[in-house]
Amino acid sequence: MKHIDILVNEYFDKAVSDLASLIQINSEYDSSTADALKPFGNGAALSLEKFLLLAESDGFTTKNIENYAGYAECGTGDLIGILAHLDVVPVGNMDKWKHNPYDAVIDNNKMYGRGTTDDKGPLIAAYTALHILKNNYKLNKRFRIIAGCDEETSMRCLKRYKETEEIPVFSFSPDASFPAVNGEKGQIQIALTREFVHQGHEPIKLLGLTCGQVVNIVPDEAVAYFSGNIAMLKRQLEEIAGDDLEIEYFEEKYLKVTAFGKQMHSMNAPDGINAMYKLFKYLAHPDLDYGPWELMHWIRSMALIFDDKNIARNLSINFKDEFGELTINLGLLRYKSKDLQIHFDIRYPVTMKPSKFEAKLPLITEKLMMLGQIKKHIEPLYVDEHNIYLQELLKAYNAITNEEAKPITIGGRTYCTSMPNAVSFGAKFPQDEELAHQSNEYLDLDNFKKMIKIYLQALININNLDV
């Protein structure tokens, strides 16, 4: 039998090419083209079709599950699942990308593109490892790569899979971090609303506020629009503005005020800089006077609550355990005319009882002076670190990296929360920066090769496991 390094080298160029072919398809959720045959839009369906054609040409058995998800399978025996996704989040401001996010450009040994790290790159790494296993080893298990098309929004893809297809005895998902993840925080998304009435005689009016595209990303831009005596307001803002604020006339009769932050996946919200919090602070300055006055006073209250460091404490939800602490992200805000809407994404500790958090909702809405409801709730995941399959994954990671790593807990949510006996396994290495959901997302090709080696060793270990 050839050494793992030799085998991976033989398949690596194809892996890079396979990945590029998927990156070049924009697979964001697209409501404008979604219908009964393509529930998440044309791009997601096209991406799934591409992956299944690729797998079929490599000798896998494939199935398309109504364009919700699909799978590629090989082997016989107990079913082992590999859970990955083909959908991606929006690219955001194109001007912030070094290369077009759908060109799969390789620059300085890095492939740039939306989905290179979340999750098309890890999917192809695991797929390539399974392809090598299929062609070079006797298979004692059935291995099935399950590729979904709705992980980034509501995971309806995996729900549909579970309604119609076989459930694996064990699954891992290459959609988080190495060495291996045995705990995922609970996730709650909350929508809040409020109405502000215009008095009709304000010399300066705040006409609109907007930030964010999806709730699970820390927004890096937040915008306010004003009318009325905007020349005076412009002078006042220029006196207090830092490098993170842009003030400009818009269509001559409006003032556009933009605050800038740092985009980040909401599971790591404290590592980002929320542009909406920045905008709150600027608009709360005591020298500014605008209407609706009720809205202005609300903004001043929010500037005190959303101070970046103590938000959870200010909302009386500062919970933590040995695995981590609660984090909160204001991902979406829309205000126009009189209606205000806000959406939060909250990740709470693994050992916290879901009912305990839900009981806090009235207190949160009271502090924010809004009406609110829970839109999404996924309870925490925890798998005992002595789980036999988890141990084989750790052995594979440690064998390739020469480490003695232990499993970790994360704030992200993966398919593992919806599948029994499942853990996340890669693909972000501990020393690497978080690139998921950010501009200039890229995959280092040396890391890509190392991922394939780790996944191949893990599949070998599981394939030889006598359970």
CA distances from 385 to 331, 340, 378, 455 (A): 33, 45, 21, 19
Give residues with Cβ within 8 angstroms of 135, minimum separation 6: 59
Q: Helices marked H in 326-387 — which ranges?
A: 354-358, 361-368
Given a cut of 70, whether residue 369 has pLDDT beyond it is: yes
Question: Which residue among the candidates 151, 184, 434, 444 is catalytic per the annotation?
Answer: 151
311 sits in the region (left: phi over 0; alpha: psi -120 to 50; else beta) called alpha
Q: Across residues 388-393, what is the average pLDDT?
A: 97
Q: How confident is the model at residue 355, as a pLDDT?
A: 86
Q: To which H or E segment does residue 396 belong? A: helix 388-401
pLDDT tens string 310-362: 798 899 888 888 878 899 999 999 999 889 999 999 999 988 888 888 888 89
State both tokens at 286: 């005591």
Q: How confident is the model at residue 437, as a pLDDT?
A: 86
221 included as an active-site residue = no
Q: How far apart are CA 316 and CA 191, in angstroms?
A: 18
Beta-sheet pairing, 221-228 with 106-107: unpaired
Write down the architecture of domain 188-378 according to CATH.
2-Layer Sandwich (3.30)
35 included as an active-site residue = no
pTM of the full structure: 0.78
The residues spanned by each domain of the chain are 4-185+381-463, 188-378
Instruction: Tell me the pLDDT band of 308, cut-offs 50, 70 and 90.
Output: low
Q: How far apart are CA 300 and CA 286, in angstroms?
A: 9
pLDDT tens string 167-200: 999 999 999 999 999 999 999 999 999 999 876 6
- 4-185+381-463 and 188-378: identical CATH topology: no
Given a cut of 90, whether residue 410 has pLDDT beyond it is: no
Question: Which residue among the candidates 58, 87, 119, 220 is catalytic per the annotation?
Answer: 87
Instruction: Tell me the pLDDT band of 1, cut-offs 50, 70 and 90.
Output: low
Expressed in percent and rounded to 5, the helix, strand and coil fractions of the chain are 35, 30, 35
Given a cut of 90, whether residue 245 has pLDDT beyond it is: yes
The CATH code of the domain at 4-185+381-463 is 3.40.630.10
